[in-house]
Amino acid sequence: MLAWQPGDAVQRRVRALLPDRATGAGRDVTVSLTTGAVVRDSRSFRPADQRELS
């Protein structure tokens, strides 16, 4: 943020938590909306980490 100057492009990212309802496992993915590339893909949450979704 400190290096940003007016007129510089803004890097847009979205984070998605993608649960697998069959197994309870899931993925935590960050995607750049600017480039369309996956920035981070982590299988960071497991069934023991999740609360039941209602």
Determine the pLDDT at residue 37. Answer: 95
- Beta strands (DSSP E) in 1-54 are 13-19, 26-32, 38-45
- For the cut 90, the answer to whether the pLDDT of residue 8 exceeds it is no
Average pLDDT value for the chain: 81
pTM for the full predicted model? 0.60
pLDDT band at 43 (very low <50, low <70, confident <90, very high): confident
Quote the longest CA-to-CA distance of the chain: 47
